[in-house]
A and B are shown apart, each in its own frame.
With several copies, the nearest count.
Chain A
Amino acid sequence: MPKKNQMQIQFASSSINEGFARVAISSFVSQLDPTIEELYDIKMAVSEAVTNCIIHGYSNKEDGLITIRCAYEERTVEIEVVDEGKGIPNVDDAMTALYTTSLEEERAGLGFTVMQSMMDEVEVFSQMGKGTSVKMKRSLAV
């Protein structure tokens, strides 16, 4: 097992690519021989972040670019999910549980809450009109 490694993937903001993003991340993280549970947690957090890029960042337009960078050092995994979409006006509000700008019933405003409960750290950087970056960290058990 290498001590350090990193990769980057880029794909269009279509929901069909969520599975690709999940598998790519979990294959890379598998280099650290995690448990299935740890992989599920990480995939779930990544899914929430990617869905946000698609639905909110790009307002469901399928020609936006989503970039995911993933790196690890020892057993700490860092994942950054980036869009170049519309940005978040107030990040603190957005990260509050149940806060949502979606009008559809099924969306519950719990995406960031899920990310925070699956990962050890979640940081969001956003600039209106420039895009959003969600950086997440998770340490795996030995």
Chain B
Amino acid sequence: VGEIKRFLRDDGMIKVSRSLKETAYKVRILKDELIRELNREPTISEIAAGLDLQVEEVVEALESNAEIESLNAVIYQ
């Protein structure tokens, strides 16, 4: 099962560290959007819902966002 699954999945080889940085970038954009829309800080579940992610994923991504300036910088790093 494991072997088949491994060949079928195309994102399998991507390092987690990179995908978290991409999510962190999206979180930042959406957060600014929601602040304008709601006139207050969005909660973590509102961010997760807006990105169609689990709260867990947002929490992990928040830790990796440190110096990422643009999505391009992430993709072409």
Contacts and interface: CB of A to CB of B under 8 A. Distances in A.
| A touches B (Cβ under 8 A) | yes
A73 to B, nearest CB: 19
Contact of A36 (B1, B2, B16, B54): B16
A33 B21 CA distance: 13
A86 B2 CA distance: 32
State which size class the interface on A falls in. Answer: 10 to 19
Contacts of B19: 36
B6 A36 contact: no
Contact of B11 (A26, A34, A37): A37
A23 B56 CA distance: 6
A117 B2 contact: yes
A56 interface: no
A35 B59 CA distance: 11
Contacts, number: 74
Interface residues of B, number: 27
Contacts of B43: 33-35
A39 interface: yes
A23 B63 CA distance: 7
Contact of B44 (A39, A41, A117, A118): A39
B14 A35 contact: yes
Interface of A: 19, 22-23, 26-27, 30, 33-41, 117-118
Interface of B: 1-2, 6, 9, 11-17, 19, 27, 31, 41-45, 47, 54-56, 59-60, 62-63
26 contacts: A19-B55, A22-B63, A26-B16, A26-B63, A30-B16, A30-B17, A30-B56, A30-B59, A33-B15, A33-B17, A33-B45, A34-B16, A34-B44, A35-B13, A35-B15, A35-B16, A35-B41, A35-B42, A35-B44, A36-B14, A36-B42, A37-B41, A39-B59, A40-B62, A41-B2, A117-B2
